[in-house]
Structure 1
Amino acid sequence: MSHTLFLRIAASGFAALLLLAPSLGHSASFTGRVASVSDGDTITLERSLPAPLSTREVRLLSIDAPETFFVDGVPAGDQVVHGRVSRDALRSLLPRGTQVTIVTDRIQTDAFGRVLAHVYRGSLNLNAEMLRRGHAVTYVRWPNSYGRFTAHRAALQEARLGGRGMWNPSNPIDELPFEYRLRVNERTNTRYFGDFSTKTFVRPADYRRIPIEQRLSFASAAEASAAGYRLQF
């Protein structure tokens, strides 16, 4: 995430980041070329995608890479160090000019107008590859990516078992990216987290009860219940 984007988040309140814009649609596929990589889960294309998306900014869907920004006076821990490693890893996978395929999901854009997508270089799914290399963690928001959950979970588990990237036992990340954003913004979690395997969910304060690799999040208890999940007690 760029420093400019962080300032926009700070100005509008962290709740804006947690809310996805109401851009609902069916999966669509586009091609483009990479202009730049700003962090481990965000790229900019050389040309804007067609309307109604109409943007060059693409957020890799359902993964969360360590952050590269810091706030003056607030300890960053090792977040920024891991964030820069993650960014450089994605840059090595997607040099400027690389042709990519952008595949959207149910919710196509976020609150900042960025396209939420699965990004492919040829047959390589970059979302899964960043998980597999240990440079990102799964962060699935219902209803996006539900059909890809098991593949992403397997990639995350492979990285954790292999001690790769942020899971390296000699230098493990000290807090997940979303936890870092909450802390530096002095916010608490408001999402309800579900367990993909047990089809149960917990209240926001209890999210750590759900194993990282099983987590998906819902905007509300009602949304979780409508998806077929039941509340853990």
Structure 2
Amino acid sequence: MAKAIEQPVPGITVGHALLARSAGSPQPISRIVHDGDTINIAADGNFGVRLLGVDAPEVSFELPRSSDFPDWPKSFVKISHPAWTQFLADPFAPGLEPLPLRSALHSYLLGKLDATTAANHAAHGGPPTRALMDMITSDIAEQGLTPETFKLRLAFAHEILDRYGRLLCYVNRDQREKPRPAPYNERLLAHGHVMPYFIWPNVDPFVRQENRVAQAVPEPGSARQLAERGALGQARESVRQAREAGRGLWNPADPLRLHAFELRFLAGRRAPDRYVLDLSDSSRELLHPQSYHRVPNPEDRLFVNAEHAPLWAEKGWSVPPP
């Protein structure tokens, strides 16, 4: 499927558009040009959407390239593939590109990795996919609509696009009447289908956004207050309830062992680079990116991109060197 926004090569994001439409027909140039620096357009292709605040187990991903493993597929491959079993049993094997990790994180990951890790991840990847499809299908039926007439409502936070050109938002069915159902993001968390993955400053799309990202940096020591507010507070409570009930990924008989972001950085051979704020603590520090595991509950981790860390330091937070 053609994408309206894509990355033809890593680091380069481009978009594809048409002249603005009305009832499917292009509008006259005199209507689409508002003034000398503003035009109205329509997307030429589909948008990718990344649900904010959640991280589902990977269904497929790229394996690392290595001449020592020539039989490994060179593109996206399902996590159920035997190559993933081999890789996740020992992602630090000789022949793979070195992945420099701190000893504490290395030891933490070793406790999750063996010949069954890939099968565990693959088994947990199917239910979230089916759950989201079922939620959308159910919403279409409840509203008496069809796939052709069904509409979605997107709520954005600070950042609109991720590094892959996907829209970053909370997603729900488009409904004017109240009460509305919770966004798909929260529904998935509440049923334990996904792990929380909160990345600042995209923590609450339902508040007025500051003009500058720097203005959104919280006061040092205010993590607990931040953690209880708005969409972030609701999402954290949903996760806590799902974990205590043993739902989905939290099933005590077979919980998800390796989180999706861990699988990605192991396969990508890139050490974690997002700092971490412990939302359960009142300290005035950000944790080093490789210390995220020191915060035991995933809903208590608020990740901060490396490029934003200096803004936190300027506000008075203690930020360790990379």
Same fold, judged at TM 0.5 (above): yes
Which one has the bigger strand percentage? 1
2:134 equivalent to 1:82? no
Corresponding letter in the other structure for 1:128: E
Corresponding letter in the other structure for 1:60: L
- Which segments of 5 or more consecutive residues in structure 1 lack a partner in the other structure? 1-7, 22-49
**Matched residues, number:** 189
TM-score w.r.t. length of structure 1: 0.71
Is the 8 Å Cα contact of residues 74 and 184 (structure 1) preserved in structure 2?
Answer: no
Q: How far apart are the structure 1 equivalents of 2:202 and 2:196?
A: 12
Q: How far apart are the structure 2 equivalents of 1:140 and 1:174?
A: 19
Shift of 1:186: 2.4
What is the aligned-residue identity percentage?
A: 29
List per-residue Cα deviations over 1:17-42 (Å, max 9, x = no partner). Answer: xxxx8xxxxxxxxxxxxxxxxxxxxx
Matches within 5 A, 1:63-82: 63-70=54-61, 71=63, 72=72, 73-75=83-85, 76-82=118-124
Is the 8 Å Cα contact of residues 197 and 299 (structure 2) preserved in structure 1?
Answer: no
Change (3 A) 1:187 1:176: same
Is the 8 Å Cα contact of residues 191 and 217 (structure 1) preserved in structure 2?
Answer: yes
Q: Rg bigger for which structure?
A: 2
Q: How far apart are the structure 1 equivalents of 2:300 and 2:255?
A: 20
Shift of 1:104: 1.1
Q: How far apart are the structure 2 equivalents of 1:173 and 1:135?
A: 10
Corresponding letter in the other structure for 1:62: G
Corresponding residue for residue 292 of structure 2:
207
Shift of 1:227: 6.1
2:143 equivalent to 1:101? no
Is the 8 Å Cα contact of residues 105 and 145 (structure 1) preserved in structure 2?
Answer: yes
Corresponding residue for residue 180 of structure 1:
263
Change (3 A) 1:160 1:229: farther
Shift of 1:138: 1.2
Corresponding letter in the other structure for 2:127: V
Corresponding residue for residue 148 of structure 1:
231
Residue 130 of structure 2 aligns to a residue whose secondary structure is helix
List per-residue Cα deviations over 1:124-168 (Å, max 9, x = no partner). Answer: 211011001111111111111144211110111111111001100
Shift of 1:195: 1.3
Residue 166 of structure 1 aligns to a residue whose secondary structure is helix
Q: How far apart are the structure 2 equivalents of 1:118 and 1:227?
A: 28
Deviates more, 1:73-82 or 1:206-215: 73-82
2:191 equivalent to 1:133? yes
Q: How far apart are the structure 2 equivalents of 1:203 and 1:52?
A: 42
RMSD: 2.7
TM-score w.r.t. length of structure 2: 0.53
Q: How far apart are the structure 2 equivalents of 1:65 and 1:224?
A: 28
